[in-house]
């Protein structure tokens, strides 16, 4: 039976709607991906979000929100006195900017207990995490996480990773490069975004990103590039897959939804090129929704169309 775990931080999201109205929800890069996975996988599949929660009202609402959507929390701890991070999305047209309040987020302690973390990752078909997952952890917890992922990989789990570089979360480029490099060493499916790789590693093209990742030994690489085509490499065979042009209202979460849809398609047994086309359709649907999460039915319709 398919079993997927996504690791990271789920935050309180304040997203703009119409006028001066704001909508409170829950989102975060790896959570947005598991939201798409839950929508698109067979109902019998297990999907868990691996994190750490506080014991406040908002954390309780988070857990309830996940459970109502069919997303479990595995052995994620509930930490007394902790609380979730918060971010607000400000829109200029469809482009977004973010303001964060996350320095004391409970998710920063998701790897405090190696035994609980290992239990959460045991016997998974797929494990997905991101550079943001790494960035919110201190050095010791980052190492604990990567060791747990490596152990799960040796036991047969496939590992998917999006470097998702956010400069403000890292003390410097050197630290970010080292941490992401260590993550790539345990990765089977890489899902980078070209502007991030250009900013962090000075790549001058999507092809350069493919080449650098292939040198690490990663067999499956999808380099996203916003509304431009993604570049797919599968065991050395490279294909460009066109994106889908739509009228966007909010681009928040589009890349995360792409990742979730791509991984869902691969778990369904579809080949990489077909999976990337379906992922583009799902991402195009997400940018027509305010906030990071589109309704399950909308994601399914886009995926299957």
193, 221 in Cβ contact below 8 A?
A: no
Confidence band for 292, pLDDT divided at 50, 70 and 90: confident
In a domain, 127, yes or no: yes
Per-residue pLDDT, 97: 78
Total tally of structural domains belonging to the chain: 1
The domain of 192 spans 5-9+30-50+111-304
User: Long-range contact list for 19-22, CB < 8 A, 24+ apart?
Assistant: 22/88
* Of 300, 301, 303, 289, nearest in space to 253 by CA: 289
Determine, yes or no, domain membership for 102: no
CA 196 to centroid of chain Cα atoms: 14
176-229 pLDDT, tens digit each: 999 999 999 999 999 999 999 999 999 999 999 999 999 999 999 999 999 999
Output the furthest CA–CA distance in the chain (Å, rounded).
Answer: 51
Please report, for residues 111, 194, 219, 297, the alpha-carbon distance to residue 232 in angstroms, rounded to integers and kept in the order given: 32, 12, 10, 27
> Which residue in 29, 116, 196, 256 is the catalytic one?
256
Quick: pLDDT tens for 139-178. 999 999 999 999 999 999 999 999 999 999 999 999 999 9
Per-residue confidence (pLDDT) for residue 18, from 0 to 100: 63
Who contacts 49 (Cβ-Cβ below 8 Å, separation ≥6)? 5, 6, 7, 8, 10, 30, 31, 34, 66, 71, 72, 73, 74, 76
In a domain, 82, yes or no: no
**Rounded distance, CA 127 to CA 64, Å?**
22
Lowest mean pLDDT among 123-127, 243-247, 265-269, 277-281: 243-247
**294 within domain boundaries:** yes
pTM: 0.95
Instruction: Supply the CATH number for residue 227's domain.
Output: 3.40.1190.20
- Establish if 220 belongs to a structural domain: yes
The H or E element spanning position 282 is helix 272-286
pLDDT at site 65: 97
- 72 inside domain: no
In angstroms, how far is CA 158 from the centroid of its own chain? 15
177's tokens: 């490069």
Distance (Å, whole) CA 142 – CA 194? 24
Domain contains 199: yes
pLDDT, residue 19, reads 67
Q: How does the average pLDDT of the chain come out, rounded?
A: 95
Instruction: For 24-69, write each residue's pLDDT tens digit.
Output: 899 999 999 999 999 999 999 999 999 999 999 999 999 999 999 9
256 is an active site residue: yes
Higher pLDDT, 263 or 251: 263
The answer to the question of residue 65 being in a domain is no
pLDDT in tens, 67-112: 999 999 999 999 999 999 998 877 676 566 788 898 889 999 999 9
């Amino acid at each position: 039976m398919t079993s997927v775990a996504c690791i990271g931080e789920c935050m309180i999201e304040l997203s703009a709607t119409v006028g001066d109205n704001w909508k409170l929800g829950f989102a975060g890069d790896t959570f947005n991906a598991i939201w798409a996975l839950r929508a698109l996988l067979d109902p019998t599949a297990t999907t868990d979000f691996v994190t750490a929660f506080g014991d406040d009202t908002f954390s309780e609402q988070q857990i309830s929100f996940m459970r109502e959507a069919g997303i479990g929390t595995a052995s994620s701890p509930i930490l007394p006195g902790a609380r979730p991070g918060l971010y607000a999305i400000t829109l200029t047209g469809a482009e977004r900017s973010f303001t964060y309040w996350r320095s004391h987020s409970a998710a920063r302690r998701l790897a405090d207990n190696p035994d609980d973390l290992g239990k959460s990752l045991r016997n998974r078909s797929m494990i997905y995490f991101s550079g943001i997952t790494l960035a919110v952890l201190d050095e010791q917890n980052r190492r604990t996480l990567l060791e747990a992922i490596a152990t799960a990989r040796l036991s047969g789990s496939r590992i998917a990773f999006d470097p998702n570089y956010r400069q403000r979360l890292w003390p410097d480029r050197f630290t970010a490069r080292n941490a992401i490099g260590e993550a790539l060493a345990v990765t089977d499916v890489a899902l980078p975004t070209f502007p991030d790789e250009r900013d962090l590693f000075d790549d001058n093209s999507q092809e350069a990103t493919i080449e650098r990742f292939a040198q690490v030994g990663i067999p499956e690489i999808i380099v996203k590039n916003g509304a431009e085509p993604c570049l797919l490499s599968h065991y050395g065979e490279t294909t460009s897959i066109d994106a889908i042009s739509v009228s966007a209202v909010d681009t928040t979460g589009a890349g995360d939804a792409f990742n979730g849809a791509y991984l869902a398609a691969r778990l369904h047994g579809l080949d990489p090129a077909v999976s990337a086309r379906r992922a583009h359709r799902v991402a195009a649907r997400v940018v027509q929704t305010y906030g990071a999460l589109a309704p399950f039915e909308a994601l399914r319709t886009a995926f299957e169309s």
